[in-house]
Structure 1
Amino acid sequence: MSENLSLKAFIVLMKASKSVQELIKKDISNYGMRTSDFEILEVLYHKGKLTVREVSEAVLINTGSITYVIDKLEKKGLIERNNCKDDRRVVYIQITAEGRKLMDNIFPQHQKVIEALFDGITEEDKKTMIEVLKTVGQKAAN
């Protein structure tokens, strides 16, 4: 009986994903944060001012939960909301100076954890991995 490589690839992908998620969750908890808080701060830190919808699409948090997380971060003074002058239905979210200072301190450490995860993997293998995972993701989305 021949080995089903698609099934094996799927199982390896799912196990690797779980392990990576646990590693990242543990790393983020070292900063006294939940993953959802960190994801929103990270996207605003790197991309700047975004609408609530854009934030929701950029992170893996469903739209029902994102308002709650945004409210918590706003109460902590890490992000702020601003209404769009042209369309009252649109609300922009941006990181505050306090939020930026926090991310300036913790993001370089977080990046080191991610870089250590890929230590020893060639640039070519990383590029291949990116392309393969993009293809899998696009197929799953369609």
Structure 2
Amino acid sequence: MEMNEVKRDQDVSLKLFIVLSRALEAIEKQIVKNVKDYGLNLTEFAVLELLFHKGDQPIQKIGQKILLASSSITYVVDKLEEKNYLVRKACPTDRRVTHASITDEGKKIMEDIFPRHKEAMSKIMAGLNTDEKEMVVEKLKKLGLYAQQLD
């Protein structure tokens, strides 16, 4: 790659990062507004969504699955337990592990919220058509996998 091409690549890489960050920020802002209507914050919603779709989860693993620091998980689980949306259950095979389990009340609220959430996501993402969304998903997945393997 010649010098001009290297500089152009660096400039476009920086611009891509900024555009991705701003797009994510704008999208998250809309999602936060949407889940706030249900008396949840984004993290609480993410935990409930995980339990709703994947079933009981070890509390220690939830943070990895929703990209949250493990120190924050206990607080979020406490809040959801106070709202009666989940309960802690001892793991039957390993006493050191505690699972989070969605309650009937938690399931009920997710059955109400999730269809509306899907609808809201569709509206938020309506700036792209379906083919463009599929292409962006493919490209971002490729970029993410590449960045992961740099470790």
Q: TM-score, normalised by structure 2?
A: 0.85
Equivalence for 2:79: 72
Which deviations, in whole Å up to 9, do the C-alpha atoms of 1:82-140 show, x marking residues without a partner? Answer: 11122111111111000000111111111111011222633332222112212222333
Q: Distance in 2 between matches of 1:48 and 1:104?
A: 14
Equivalence for 2:146: 139
Q: Distance in 2 between matches of 1:92 and 1:36?
A: 17
Equivalence for 2:98: 91
Secondary structure at the counterpart of residue 80 of structure 1: strand
Q: Distance in 2 between matches of 1:108 and 1:75?
A: 24
Letter matched to residue 17 of structure 1: L
Decide which structure has the larger Cα Rg and report it: 2
Which deviations, in whole Å up to 9, do the C-alpha atoms of 1:17-37 show, x marking residues without a partner? Answer: 110111111111111211111
Which shows bigger deviation, 115-124 or 90-99? 115-124
Aligned length: 142
Q: Distance in 2 between matches of 1:84 and 1:106?
A: 29
Equivalence for 1:41: 48
**Which residue of the other structure, out of 77, 100, 109, is the alignment partner of 1:102?**
109
Which deviations, in whole Å up to 9, do the C-alpha atoms of 1:48-70 show, x marking residues without a partner? Answer: 11111231111132100101110
Gap regions ≥5 residues in structure 2: none
Question: Do the aligned partners of 2:87 and 2:102 also contact (CA within 8 Å) in 1?
Answer: yes
Q: Percent identity?
A: 37
Equivalence for 1:111: 118
Equivalence for 1:8: 15
Secondary structure at the counterpart of residue 41 of structure 1: helix
Q: TM-score, normalised by structure 1?
A: 0.90
